[in-house]
């Protein structure tokens, strides 16, 4: 039998894993600098956590969950991590730790979607969540964190889009207006939009179907979308956020059609896209979810967060070079060569060797092929004298050195 990785999943091979490591290291440093602490939650949770925490009007809950039953218990592989982090936040009474409480995570997520470039069934996210701050300073901090992180990775063609989708108090009126203007054309919208129309009409704005998008750009519907429906408090929050972003020199665009996935988002929602990506161009998505902690059984705690899709980020990074090996030891005496490699590695110099006692020319050829910076030749003469021959593979320059001199060089 021919085994293959399941559809929608991918092996991350050594030719690519160094990029993942580079990004993950940068992420850890960036988040720790801003005082976010890492949290690791289980890869599966009770199904109900997601139906309540993500919302039953979302595509994620309706069509994309990997759910299984174990001893009458319904469990689901996490399709996203906010629900799990909020569950842990409540379960461990983390609201007592500090305000704000800032967490970050990385890991695999699972959604049954149609696989295509930038869209998989097992994919990976990096994300942050900030709990306890109602005001827009928190929104500005998390947005700036995402933008700076992406810019630090030298991604330049980025676009930040923001919107304020109001709060439960002001959104109902907007929903009704939207329903009224969509109703006459409802038949022409896709089947999913019919369900959204009943459960959460705002999500129609997020429909990816071409025909629906075309219908949404009609003048009547656009007029409603462009009206300022949000209440005074929400307007104030949004205006202040814009000022924060201006002060922080973070460029943004307002997109009134931006609503995003979870049902429990309120006020600020945002997305970062890159024009260097193909049609799946969103690299980061996030928003404020003030009602969620209470919905899942905790004390009311305002919160905001975002998630970055690792696969999309890595694809923007394909050209990045792997860190080259410092030294390749060429020798006919494996024991001595291993001993030397051990000493070099202990001094934090990366080192490898040829495990055969092939001709030196062949060994040097291999060192060039794997892109090593130097070869260190350990032949009979060198073993006797303790003086080694070091060859720089890019310049071809060769010199006699002692081990101590090598330690000093790196
Ligand atoms: P999209 O509109 O692309 O479906 P989304 O709104 O479902 O995205 P979120 O749930 O907010 O996305 O996830 C945040 C980020 O995770 C996305 O911006 C994207 O980079 C990444 N992402 C989401 N789903 C997938 C997937 N199936 N495969 C790869 N990356 C994904
Ligand atoms: Mg999606």
Span 292-310, pLDDT tens digits: 999 999 999 999 999 999 9
**Whose C-alpha lies nearest to ligand 1, atom 25?**
119
Per-residue model confidence as pLDDT tens digits over 334-351: 888 999 999 999 999 999
The number of the ligand 1 atom at minimal distance from the alpha carbon of 80 is: 10
Q: Helices in 183-231 by DSSP H: which ranges? A: 191-199, 210-216, 219-226
Within 6 A (CB) of ligand 1 lie: 80, 111, 113, 118-120, 123, 125, 260-261, 280, 282-285, 307, 309, 311-312
Nearest to 54 by CA among 268, 202, 262: 262
Is residue 13 a contact partner of residue 81, using CB atoms and an 8 Å limit? no
**CATH 3.40.50.800 spans which residues of the chain?**
327-409
Element (H, E) at 104: strand 101-110
Cα(286) to centroid of ligand 1, in Å?
Answer: 10
Per-residue model confidence as pLDDT tens digits over 166-223: 998 888 888 888 888 898 888 999 988 998 888 888 889 888 888 998 888 888 888 8
**CATH 3.30.930.10 spans which residues of the chain?**
14-167+231-317
Residue 404 has pLDDT above 80, yes or no: yes
CA distance 57 to 362: 63
Closest ligand relative to 117 C-alpha: 1
Closest ligand relative to 114 C-alpha: 1
Residue 102 has pLDDT above 90, yes or no: yes
Residues 6+ apart with CB under 8 A from 105: 38, 39, 40, 41, 81, 85, 125, 126, 127, 128, 129
315 sits in the region (left: phi over 0; alpha: psi -120 to 50; else beta) called alpha
CA distance 113 to 121: 6
Cα(393) to centroid of ligand 2, in Å?
Answer: 47
What average pLDDT does this structure show over 381-409? 88
pLDDT given for residue 320 in this prediction = 58
**Whose C-alpha lies nearest to ligand 1, atom 23?**
309
CA distance 143 to 243: 13
What average pLDDT does this structure show over 311-326? 81
Question: Is the model more confident about 172 or about 81?
Answer: 81
Is residue 49 a contact partner of residue 79, using CB atoms and an 8 Å limit? no
pLDDT given for residue 319 in this prediction = 58
What average pLDDT does this structure show over 20-37? 96
Determine the CATH number of domain 327-409. 3.40.50.800
Local confidence band at 391 (pLDDT 50, 70, 90 cut-offs)? very high
pLDDT given for residue 162 in this prediction = 97
Cα(174) to centroid of ligand 1, in Å?
Answer: 26
CATH architecture of 14-167+231-317: 2-Layer Sandwich (3.30)
Closest ligand relative to 309 C-alpha: 1
Question: Is the model more confident about 208 or about 74?
Answer: 74
Percent over 70 (pLDDT), the chain: 99
Is residue 63 a contact partner of residue 48, using CB atoms and an 8 Å limit? no
What average pLDDT does this structure show over 240-258? 95
Is residue 44 a contact partner of residue 76, using CB atoms and an 8 Å limit? yes
What average pLDDT does this structure show over 86-97? 95
Closest ligand relative to 54 C-alpha: 1
pLDDT given for residue 238 in this prediction = 96
Residue 12 has pLDDT above 80, yes or no: yes
pLDDT given for residue 309 in this prediction = 96
pLDDT given for residue 355 in this prediction = 86
Read off the DSSP letter of residue 4.
Answer: -
Average pLDDT, whole number, for the chain?
92
Cα(3) to centroid of ligand 2, in Å?
Answer: 28
**Whose C-alpha lies nearest to ligand 1, atom 9?**
285
Give the distance, in angstroms, between the CA of residue 155 and the centroid of all CA atoms in the same chain. Answer: 14
Residue 333 has pLDDT above 90, yes or no: no
Cα(164) to centroid of ligand 1, in Å?
Answer: 20
Is residue 124 a contact partner of residue 142, using CB atoms and an 8 Å limit? no
pLDDT given for residue 37 in this prediction = 97
pLDDT given for residue 321 in this prediction = 63
| CB-CB neighbours of 354 under 10 Å | 21
Cα(247) to centroid of ligand 2, in Å?
Answer: 32
């Amino acid at each position: 039998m021919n085994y293959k990785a399941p559809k929608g999943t991918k092996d991350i091979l050594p030719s690519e894993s160094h990029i993942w490591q580079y990004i993950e290291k940068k992420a850890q440093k960036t988040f720790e600098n801003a005082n976010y602490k890492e949290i690791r939650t289980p890869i599966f949770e009770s199904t109900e956590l997601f139906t309540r925490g993500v919302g039953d009007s979302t595509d994620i809950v309706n069509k994309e969950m990997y759910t299984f039953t174990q001893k009458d218990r319904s469990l689901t592989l996490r399709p996203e991590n906010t629900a799990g982090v909020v569950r842990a936040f409540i379960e461990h009474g983390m609201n007592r730790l500090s305000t704000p409480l800032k967490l970050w995570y990385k890991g695999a997520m699972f959604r049954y979607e149609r696989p295509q470039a930038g869209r998989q069934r097992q994919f990976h996210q990096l994300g942050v969540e900030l709990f306890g701050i109602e005001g827009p300073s928190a929104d500005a901090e998390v947005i700036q964190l995402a933008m700076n992180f992406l810019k630090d990775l030298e991604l330049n063609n980025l676009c930040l889009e923001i919107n304020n989708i109001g709060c439960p108090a002001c959104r109902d009126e907007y929903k009704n207006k939207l329903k009224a203007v969509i109703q006459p054309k409802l038949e022409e919208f896709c089947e999913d939009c019919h369900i959204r129309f009943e459960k959460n009409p705002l999500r129609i704005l997020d429909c990816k179907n071409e025909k629906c998008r075309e219908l949404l750009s009609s003048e009547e519907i656009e007029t409603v979308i462009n009206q300022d429906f949000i209440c005074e408090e929400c307007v104030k929050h949004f205006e202040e956020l814009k000022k924060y972003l201006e002060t922080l020199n973070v460029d943004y665009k307002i997109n009134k059609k931006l609503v995003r996935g979870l049902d429990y988002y309120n006020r600020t929602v945002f997305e970062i896209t890159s024009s260097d990506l193909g049609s799946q161009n969103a690299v980061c998505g996030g928003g404020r979810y003030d009602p969620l902690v209470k919905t899942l059984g905790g004390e009311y705690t305002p919160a905001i967060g975002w998630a970055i899709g690792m696969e999309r980020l890595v694809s923007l990074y394909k050209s990045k070079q792997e860190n080259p090996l410092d030294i390749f030891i060429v020798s006919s005496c494996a024991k001595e060569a291993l001993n030397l490699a051990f000493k070099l590695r202990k001094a934090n110099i990366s080192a490898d060797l040829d495990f055969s006692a092939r001709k030196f020319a062949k060994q040097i050829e291999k060192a060039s092929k794997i892109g090593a910076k130097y070869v260190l030749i350990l032949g009979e003469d060198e073993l006797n004298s303790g003086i080694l021959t070091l060859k720089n593979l890019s310049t071809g320059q060769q010199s006699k050195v002692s081990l101590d001199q090598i330690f000093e060089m790196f």
